[in-house]
A and B are shown apart, each in its own frame.
Chain A
């Protein structure tokens, strides 16, 4: 199978899976401890491999940005902020999509039904995180799906699984006993651009 048809098949399979999981009770989220990040970018590579993200510098679902607020020599520090689609609970991209191509699954994952996408790119202008791009393989807008194809087997998303220092922890925010819920209970955390009211499900431990 060519790369294109694999990407298309994955997109279609994910739609079917989302339909099948219509009664899912989970609310998936990722808790990140960025102080552990070593900027190895394994997550970005794993994401591309797992999801057949097309080749190209600006075709990506996930990134590791360097914190540019350097201190001055000799007092120096360096840190990184890995991120991706925030899987907002109040997703602007879903509100603005004219054809319901962007939608939120029962378990709270924002996905794109590539067959319905008309490529008006309204979601790209609506997203406060620049988390979307135009994919040549699915001929639609593409974005992080929390590796939805892995939900059946209960495996972690590729970025979470591959991370050497375990920056990301994936789990069910609705389950008070899950590791993510525990981390959020024991630590102070923040989200990106809270002022936009998007209620992200990516939580950053302070």
Chain B
């Protein structure tokens, strides 16, 4: 199976990627330096997180990155792991972006953690096997190793190697990602999150992020949909249909999540869902999550049957923007119902008149998020420009 290749195969210049974009994305990522310096100098006080909402936009952005990474890995494994030939073409691009999104995710969470270096040490010498965060972090570490090896083999055209590394990445990715769902799902204290729903939902939404991102990056590599080679067109048409299917499933999931949280007003779940439907997160929810994230892309795919790749591209971009807000809403909504009634003397931080608490990201948090997103795009464009990612 494997092969005689030279290092030349590793690199190839893609002139479709203009330097202007590289410089622009690098400038955007520099914006993040502000937040990073601010937090290093002034400590975590510069973040908007509170005693009642300890997890903010950095956590949700981390989730966004790793959901994307897992999705890219899962979707790409259809080709070189499960042998669906049509999808083999997506392998290299999907896996390199999976690596980059994961690394950017790690970067964001390192800014959120108070002691990232301590984590590296105590994760190993004092592990708590009962902790979902321990499993999630460790499995993502294993996953990163697998996908890096997988990428190396793909570049070397070593199909057997890519199969085994890809299989390892697939298993580690599913485990890690469902554990990320479990980080939230295991919290009895937070009824909106608690239960088996989130680990399952996370895998499903990873598939959506994965398909959407692949559709986007292929268009970036070739400039526009009409430039796509035949093989890539075939793969993307298939992916567009899958994309529509996954969107349909997630709409179904969301409908039932909402109904079960509203019906009979179950305590705490109800208040959290109402924060999404009519409360402080309602614009995020209806405009970004429902419209951009689900309905618009779903109907675009439904009416074009996935055959129009320009339409699919628009659907994919819309979905990715929506998904970013989906993560944010999920992380924040779960914490908006305070653990103690905000009575006088209870000192419930950032409590509102309606008995809920509130959170808004600080400028530093936002700058880190924008910086990380910009940097991720920059790294991808760099890889696209200088690595041989075509078959």
- Chain A interfacial positions (CB closer than 8 Å to B): 39, 41, 57-58, 60, 63-68, 80, 92, 95-101, 115-122, 124-130, 132-134, 136, 139-140, 196-197
Contact = CB atoms under 8 A, between A and B. Distances in A.
Given A63-B345, A65-B340, A134-B114, A197 B188 contact: yes
Interface residues of B, number: 44
Given A98-B131, A120-B119, 10 more contacts: A65-B340, A65-B341, A99-B118, A100-B126, A125-B187, A125-B189, A130-B339, A134-B54, A136-B43, A139-B114
Contacts of B50: 58
A124 B116 CA distance: 18
B128 A126 contact: no
Interface stretch (B132-140, B213-221, B254-262): B132-140
Interface of A (DSSP majority class): loop
Contacts of B130: 95-96
Interface of B: 43-44, 49-52, 54-55, 113-116, 118-119, 122-123, 126-128, 130-134, 137, 183, 186-190, 334-335, 338-341, 343-349
Q: Which 9 A-B pairs have the closest CB atoms?
A: A119-B114, A65-B346, A99-B122, A128-B189, A121-B54, A98-B134, A130-B339, A118-B119, A124-B54
B345 A125 contact: no
Contacts of A67: 343
A118 B346 contact: no
A66 B345 contact: yes
B187 A126 contact: yes
B179 to A, nearest CB: 11
A96 B131 contact: yes
Contact of B128 (A39, A64, A100, A125): A100
A19 to B, nearest CB: 14
Contacts of A136: 43
A128 B339 contact: yes
Contact of A99 (B127, B334, B343, B344): B127
Contacts of B338: 130
Contacts of A64: 345
Contact of B115 (A63, A118, A128, A130): A118
B131 A118 contact: no
B119 A99 contact: yes
Nearest to A128: B189
A127 B126 contact: no
A158 B314 CA distance: 63
Contacts of A128: 188-189, 339
